[in-house]
Structure 1
């Protein structure tokens, strides 16, 4: 819903200008602008938040046999990045106020082999135990990776999330706060870690031209399907004519735990140009999300449902508005959402390692969230950046 006609124009422009697809100056400009906007010293652009995570794992020098503690309520691409580096994953349970890792659960999992903690901020809400986890890591000499894929632009104590840990990752995949179809950024404020990420970055290839073209053609495809005022019919027509270009977030290989051949790519100029255009509008769309979240806050108050907790000193960016409802509602979420709100209400996450079925023992709160957490939308077609 953050794609507008100006993004389609950017994509079309780059489709007709293939000679500049590996212009590193455009990528550098995007990285500098993201770092400035995010309040980070360094930023590096990759072709996915999962690739940015692999770069962070490399930067932290996590080795086979090292342990990382992370929440057992996540997307499968996150543990994949650690598995492919040979790092042992130790799962901990979440809390149900913000769906972040429970600091008491983390502490109980620390062993002499623990090297790092991955904390995530889900659904655009700042993790309840943010400060406590950072403090715990410092006491034990552990590194902290912040997963901000859902929460780009959220703030805590006057800073954007991702600047309290050692490294952080963000996503511009098409379902996230801002949209380059696929893409991610790794940030750090540490000079030494930045040099290590740069080593990984310099070794990473660009995507091939077929992949770049496919991604650019997905911009109008997504726009006509979801944002165009007449998407109710133009979306189907455009999809029928261009469905061979459709990109899906998680590949079948990744769902099976197999590292795909295209993994580990850095961002080329055309996608960085889309990112620059999206950054011009990101604050506007986050403002829209915050305003629309008030609709669901009121709904919770009127219907007796618990609201997600906004911790003191934080300002969410509200990718979605998560609410725990009865399990039977989540089981029929599509029908229930349209019946009651004429809106698409989503069901992230449907398993411990979404979207892959499976069970992680000892994560009882995560099980509750899997069965009961639904996500109300915070953007719709009426949200349009002025002048776009």
Structure 2
């Protein structure tokens, strides 16, 4: 289990990408996108689904659907990625941070009520690392008592389940990611869902108003499929990856721009998904259950390691089935400080240090959140897929 990204890519994805590179006149074929949205909604158990070029754009669509206005307040975890507060702040919404719990790294329900004001309109909860958040039901119940909407950030947790349903179906709206480090991979991509008819209508309005990305970006994204495959998934990536990168490395897509890291809205933000990326999504979707099972099986390796070495395992709440994008564990701060070297020396794998700041990828610092600060200093994450995990007949 050597890397954190592109482990769900197979030869069939490379084939899909190459086929679509030769069909540029069809890149704005809405039928393919509708097929993907319909299939994702069916697979996820949601009534409506709309596909965008990133989950952060899906979040912007959800903000629009909920009719959040400037100066409205949304409560969100003080342990999240910069793209989440960006989407809120670019809509003029005030972000109100709240501490997390350290069982699953989700919002701590006991800390939320003190953050609610007359301007609070919604709570944004997250299922981080593919682990269903500990206070899921309690947060839903609290929101209902206060008349607040719930946005579910499922970017890490596509396929995780609670009470027999996929996460994302208990709040009002939810977003999922198919970015190259996530549960399934279209290099960049995201889906927004809802089960509410009025919110579904609003999401559709946002989607219909959103432009497609320019052809140069679509072409580059398609070229990133073989680039990522040869670099990370191919069984001989140790030499083919370098060789392929020499000729095609200039095509690499960095999914969070420097502008976004600084909180600046990029000019080409807000694009909906075109047909070639939706075709990749359809191909990935048919393999998603298989790869989730691989992740769950591999997570048992790290669970056993925790048991044998005295580390706390992430909590799986009653009626939950986690998906395990990664396997998060709190370790000594000195281990996290050298986690890459430590991981290769001890396990010969790349162990992640995601969230070296409360707001991942942001230079901004937010202080005063005890558990979030502990997670920043001590939470590492183990990989749950490797090159040997290969979808049959792909």
- TM-score normalized by the length of structure 2: 0.98
Give, in angstroms, the shift of residue 126 of structure 1: 0.3
Residues 183-225 of structure 1, C-alpha deviation per residue, up to 9 Å, x if partnerless? 0000000000000111111100000000000000000000000
Runs of 4+ in 1 over 6 A off after TM superposition: none
CA contact (8 A) 2:262 2:363 kept: no
Distance 1:114 1:98 in 2: 25
> Which residue pairs with 2:8 in the alignment?
2
> Which residue pairs with 2:4 in the alignment?
none
Q: Identify the match of residue 119 of structure 2 among 98, 113, 117.
A: 113
Count of residues in Structure 1 that have an aligned counterpart in Structure 2: 388
> Which residue pairs with 1:259 in the alignment?
265
Give, in angstroms, the shift of residue 357 of structure 1: 3.1
Note the residue ranges of structure 1 that are not aligned, 5 or more in a row: none
User: Are positions 1:86 and 2:62 aligned together?
Assistant: no
1:201-240 equivalent positions in 2, closer than 5 A: 201-240=207-246
Distance 2:320 2:282 in 1: 26
Give, in angstroms, the shift of residue 269 of structure 1: 0.2
Distance 2:361 2:301 in 1: 28
Give, in angstroms, the shift of residue 41 of structure 1: 0.2
Give, in angstroms, the shift of residue 181 of structure 1: 0.3
Give, in angstroms, the shift of residue 360 of structure 1: 1.6
Note the residue ranges of structure 2 that are not aligned, 5 or more in a row: 1-6
User: Are positions 1:315 and 2:295 aligned together?
Assistant: no
User: Are positions 1:277 and 2:268 aligned together?
Assistant: no
Please give the secondary structure, in 1, of the residue aligned with 2:130.
coil
User: Are positions 1:138 and 2:144 aligned together?
Assistant: yes
1:1-388 equivalent positions in 2, closer than 5 A: 1-388=7-394
Give, in angstroms, the shift of residue 362 of structure 1: 2.3
Give, in angstroms, the shift of residue 244 of structure 1: 1.4
Please give the secondary structure, in 2, of the residue aligned with 1:86.
coil
Question: What's the RMSD between the two structures over aligned residues?
Answer: 0.5
- TM-score normalized by the length of structure 1: 0.99
Distance 2:79 2:273 in 1: 28
Distance 2:61 2:70 in 1: 15
CA contact (8 A) 2:151 2:172 kept: yes
CA contact (8 A) 2:54 2:189 kept: yes
